[in-house]
Amino acid sequence: MRSLSNIFWLGTKELRSFFSDWVLLGFVIYSFSLAVISQAQSNSQELYHASLGIVDEDHSELSRRITHAFLMPYFKQPVAIAPADVEPLMNAGKYTFIIDIPPNFQRDVLAGRQPGLQIDVDATAMVQAGLGSGYAEQIVNNEISTFLSKTEATPSSPVNLAVRIAFNPNVMTAWFTSVMGIISSVTMLAIVLAGAALVREREHGTMDHLLVMPLSPLEIAMSKIWANGLVIAAAVGLSLYLIVRLLLKIPIAGSIPLFMLGAILYLFFATAIGLFLGTVARSMPQLGLLYMLVAVPMNVLSGNATPLESMPRWLAIAMQVSPSTHFVSFAQAILYRGAGLGVVWPQFIAVAAIALLFLILSLLRFRSALSSASS
Amino acid sequence: MIPIRLMFALFGTTLLMIVFGFGISTDVNNLTFAVLDRDQTPDSRAYLEELRGSPYFVEKPPLADYADIDRRLKNGEINASIEIPPNFGQDIKRGQPAWVSAWIDGAMPFRAETIRSYLQGMHQLYLNDPAVKTTHAAPPPPADIEVRFKYNQDFDSVFAMVPSTLAMMLALFPAILMALAVVREKELGSITNLYVTPVTRLEFLIGKQLPYVGVALINFVVMFLLAIFVFGVPLKGSFLALLAGTIIYVFTTTGYGMLISTFCSTQIAALFGTAILTILPAQQFSGMMTPVSSLSGTAQIIGLGFPMSYYRPISVGVFTKGLGFSDVGPSILTLIVFIPVLTAISLVLLRKQER
């Protein structure tokens, strides 16, 4: 009981120092509001406003039809360009796609001569080029077929494929990136707050005060975990309700309380690893470097931007050790696919187990590391 | 700059460059699918043959019924399901249009879109396969449409992502180290030395900045060598253009950290602030995933104000597009503009803090 009250009072000290730092508070608000909104607007997962140039050397009805077939929001208004400008414009990255319609294209199509048509794709704009090139080809094909079907009936295909997308029928980026934005803010903030809380005490010499008081390392660690965890959990809840649901109007399939439970488990992990890094680093710049080494890969490779399936096998397996991967995975399962505890419990357990491991590790390092560093 | 931190900065960038170079990839493969074949004829197997032979897909045990589709998509065991209806083979023989239906997990939009285009591509291959006997002969295509992947014929993401990762690393480390270096002096009080000595603010800031510019340039050399020798991304364009762009770029990224440092008074705020203000724009808004011109709203504004949006075209351009000074000149000039602007704002903000 005594111990609990110590943990509580130490934690309130933590909260006071957090709320007295206005700039930090500003960054936290930014990272759970505007940063989430901007990620929702990044369109990074779909074909959106791709830039398209058209070299029309035919000037026929067919070439005009092809030009007008590229529609917003997938493609920007096609821009007519001269053949000589293709190379410099692609070099400058002004257009991801350039379609070259050769002279006499319509005449040759009608005569059945199978004229060539080129679609140049800037294959360094990976996502857009990958999603758009097949699409562009299909648009041109369809346009030519409908043009021809005025004169002759094209036979229907013997086998057809109907593709439907489950859970996000219009495949909208915002559904995905907004929640992924919250997750990456959680990772970054939780590790910094916990780690820095420790390093700051050491740099200012206040750690010595704590160590001579009748407090156990567990009490010091738990106070930092609950205080920092509470701030971030509140930010996550608000962000999910106010920003994702109300402002961005993204439908959430599953249970928000279940997601919050997962988020709290994850916070326990993230603050524990933050504390661990805090016991390793001797100064804030060192913590900053360690943080970059740990938090940035946890964020970037968790499957929140590029799919885990794309990684080499060794890396995908290594990322299974990182709770951020499980967090992303159960967030997708709960929020988009409406999965329940029956589906996500193995991931919850994985997160909790890794969290516990880091808490124990940081406790083991606590007193020895801190006292040696401050002397 | 203490040696241990220098070592760490070098080691850290190298490690992250390797991990990200392998990890940030848009080549989608190892996709899982399962089949609900309610026809079980040679025709249905012929259709599935295209999919089973694909290097992108891995087949999981067959599906039992619709509830199974639902369950296994939900728990993420499969990325896609393919259902072949009964009478599929019969329909083909009778010349009636047959339908195959696919469900794709849409929880990650990019993956879903990629699976959709793979499936449609394979469907097209099936239709054009001369071995597939259907009653109609497929009509010859009216035009020969050729899609050319310029600069990267095999469309292998490493040639775009490794030079982009180099740009990202040079945005993150210099900014964070620089921001912490300045705020550290404020928080620990040693900045009072600045006020009692005849050092001007400009001299103080540039004096802080130059060592980090130096570290960043060493990092650049290491990452440049990694790109060529570990990732096998050849340098096709002018090294001098890349070097010139890089030198200016690291001045802007350290300047960016400097700017953030001027309005932070604690190192926690500086660390988190620089992280959130660099990692997010670098990963999402600087053209690494989506061209800046295709972003909307605040994402685009943030992207346009972030130096990496102008350096990434230089890095990717010189490495993979084989560009020289004439092509990357405009980007270099834009980066140059950042330097006086960032420095001036930092000076103004640092002055205010003093009073």
CB contact under 8 A, B139 and A165: no
Residue of A51, A114, A172 with shortest CB distance to B291: A51
Which pLDDT band, with edges at 50, 70 and 90, does B143 fall under?
Answer: confident
pLDDT at position B139, please?
Answer: 63
**Both structure tokens of A198:** 């420790």
**B110 and B205, same domain (yes or no):** no
Q: How many whole angstroms separate alpha carbon B209 and alpha carbon B252?
A: 10
Same domain, B202 and B304: yes
Query: Same structural domain for residues B163 and B230?
Result: yes
| Residue A97 main-chain phi, psi, to 5 deg | -125, 135
CB contact under 8 A, B105 and A166: yes
Decide if B134 is inside a domain.
no
Q: Is the pLDDT of residue B334 over 90?
A: yes
One domain for residues B214 and B92: no
Same domain for B181 and B294, yes or no, is yes
Q: Is residue B307 part of a domain?
A: yes
Residue B145 lies in a domain: no
Tell me if B299 and A39 make a contact (CB, 8 A cut-off).
Answer: yes
Helices (H) and strands (E) in chain A, counts: 15, 5
* Ordered domains of chain A (ranges, CATH): 2-43+172-374 (no CATH), 52-149 (3.40.1710.10)
Quick: pLDDT tens for B278-300: 988 998 889 888 888 888 888 89
Contact between B115 and B79 under an 8 Å Cβ cutoff? The reply is yes
Pair (B220, B344) in one structural domain: yes
What is the share, in percent, of chain B residues with pLDDT greater than 70? 94
One domain for residues B19 and B36: no
Q: Is there a single domain that holds both residue B17 and residue B42? A: no
Tell me the two tokens of residue A124.
Answer: 């360094």
Range of the domain at B244: 3-23+156-354
Gap from B328 CA to chain A (nearest CA, Å): 7
Share of chain A above pLDDT 90, in %: 16
- Reported as a pLDDT band with limits 50, 70 and 90, residue A16 is confident
Q: What is the pLDDT of residue A375?
A: 41
Q: Specify if B70 maps to a domain.
A: yes
Cβ–Cβ gap A188/B272 under 8 Å: yes
Q: Does B237 touch chain A (CB under 8 A)?
A: no
pLDDT surpassing 60 at residue A153: no
Question: What's the average model confidence in pLDDT over A144-151?
Answer: 79
B82 and B161 fall within a common domain: no
Interface test with B, best of A22, A42, A119, A308 (most B CBs within 10 A): A42
Based on the domain organization, do B95 and B241 belong to the same domain?
Answer: no
Please tell me what DSSP assigns to residue A162: E
What CA–CA distance (Å, rounded) separates B349 from B352? 5
Work out whether the CA dihedral B11, B309, B253, B280 comes out positive or negative.
negative
Is B136 contained in some domain? no
Domain tally, chain B: 2
Cβ atoms of A171 and B110 within 8 Å: the answer is: no
Of A161, A287, A319, the CB nearest to B102: A161
A244 touches chain B (CB under 8 A): no
Q: How far apart are the first and last CA of chain B?
A: 29
Candidate from B12, B273, B287 with C-beta closest to A289: B12
Q: Is residue B247 part of a domain?
A: yes
Do residues B16 and B46 share a domain?
no
In chain B, residues 125-144 whose CB comes closer than 8 Å to chain A:
126-127, 134-136, 139-144
Chain A residue with CA closest to B286: the answer is A42
Does any CB of chain B come closer than 8 Å to the CB of residue A154? yes
H helices within chain B, ranges in order? 3-23, 42-52, 66-74, 88-94, 109-128, 158-188, 192-196, 201-229, 239-262, 267-280, 297-304, 308-316, 325-354
pLDDT tens digits along A212-240: 777 777 787 788 888 888 989 999 999 98
**Complex prediction ipTM:** 0.86
How far off is chain B from A1, nearest CA to CA, in Å?
Answer: 32
- Alpha carbon distances (Å) from A217 to A5, A213, A273, A375: 15, 11, 15, 18
Nearest residue in A to B110, CA atom: A45
Nearest CA in chain A to B99: A160
CA distance B257 to chain A (A): 13
Question: What residues of A are in contact with residue B285 (Cβ under 8 Å)?
Answer: 38, 42
B301 domain-assigned:
yes
Please give the interface size between A and B, counted as residue pairs whose CB atoms are below 8 Å apart: 410
- pLDDT number for residue B136: 54
Q: Is residue B148 part of a domain?
A: no
- Distance CA(B132)–CA(B122), nearest Å, equals 13
Whether A48 and B149 lie within 8 Å, measured CB to CB: no
Q: Which of A16, A94, A140, A310 to mutate to test the interface with B (most CBs of B within 10 A)?
A: A310
Same domain for B221 and B253, yes or no, is yes
pLDDT value at A374 more than 50: no
